[in-house]
Structure 1
Amino acid sequence: MIALSVNLNKIALIRNSREGNFPDVTAHGRICLDCGAQGLTVHPRPDQRHIRPGDVRELAALCASRDGIEFNVEGNPFAAPQGDYPGLMALVLETSPDQCTLVPDSNDQLTSDHGFDLKRDGARLEPIIAQLRDANVRVSLFMDPDLEQISRAREAGADRIELYTGPYAEAVTNQSADIDRIFAAHCAAAEHARQLGLGVNAGHDLNLINLPRYRTLPGLQEVSIGHALTVDALNMGLDNAVAAYLNCLAGN
């Protein structure tokens, strides 16, 4: 079974456009879990454009209160604290999520758009990965489908990789002739990761159109989906949107 972890960033983005707590991020996370999602994902950033530290704390408590539910916190471990944002590592060590997905995005990026270059960042990441694993937090690294880089992820001590699916999703949207080549590269990357003992997650711009094929990726364990699921929820309701993604992942 491929687990669905619902990314709540866009719910928080809507909330932050007004004063107050409407929509309530934790309440929407609860709806997703009630509808069968196996986990929740958040990506707190130093500028707090969407998820805030308080959201991370509340959602950690929500997920911890339910058996078998995974809480995944993702972000850039090198980003400095800013205001009341304590930094990713401090927040993760405080809230003890099941998984921390490390992402190489800068503070001014609109969204994550590439995987780690571990030739450059591997040595800096190794002590961070070790600290997270010592705290019983599973570590996933956001990666492009590059076999050499995935080997380096294993050497750095990661437990899983999350394959960056943006180019695949774009190829499907544009009906590009490169779709088969891109998907084959992801399959090869997933197989390579499995041979190394790494788990395989995936995420970025996955939706109900491109997910039916991507769900056949060898050994895929988890997808993190937020933007498209939130948009679909505007049309069909959050409960129906979660159900649609779960059915898609199940091959129904």
Structure 2
Amino acid sequence: MSLNDEIKVYEDVVVSRSTGEVESYEPTFFNEVIRRREVNFIVQAIQAKKPKLILDYGCGGGWLSRLICDRGFQVVGIDLSEKLIKIANSICHEGDFIVCDAMKLPFKDNIFDFVVGISILHHLPDLRSALRELKGTSLPGTVFLFMEPNSINPLSAFGRRFFPMEAHTKGEKPFTFGYLKTLLILAGFEIERYFTTFFFSFPIARFLKITGMKLPLWLIKIISSFETLAEKMPLLNALNSNIVALAKLR
């Protein structure tokens, strides 16, 4: 897929102008079960580092940048889509946002001390080159937090095949659990935490969005509790749909 074609995909997605979220999932279930836990982990990692300048790598509509700024941290967000950057600017006035290619970052060397990227790496044409680019703009000891889809989750694989996301780009390649970890290590990163989450919650949230169904809050809480237990089962762990990597630049 050409860069212009990829930009058009992102220009066409529906993004909430109040939250900056791409509207690919039923919002109540998604926020209660998935986003709440993701945000808790991201915030804990940022607060532990207390960084001076954070790069929101592939910031989209700015939902994460706003969350970061609301907690008193300075953030720079980058995205390929001019439309998404405009939305990010409108919901997060304290952040700085730049339209650019993630493969060619327009920054000086050694300026960021925390980098966070949510579901961006699997869209990039050359992950090794992208990681080199990120390392060049980062200080020694910079913490990197990535969340990426796991290609071998059977429910997500079925959804990608028959009900692709609105922001699906031709040629994107979700990772296997071991591949991403190996690539980070070979690129010179020190892995601090590496695990998977959510066996069935992403597919449920997507199914609810497509069908227009909504679940009562009591049922959502039961599903959330069961998900927390199920994703830790030995046979399911490697199949969970979300890979979380927390690494440090050596």
Q: Fold conserved (TM > 0.5)?
A: no
Highest RCO, 1 vs 2 (Cα 8 Å, sep ≥ 6):
2
Q: What TM-score, normalized to structure 1?
A: 0.38
Q: What TM-score, normalized to structure 2?
A: 0.39
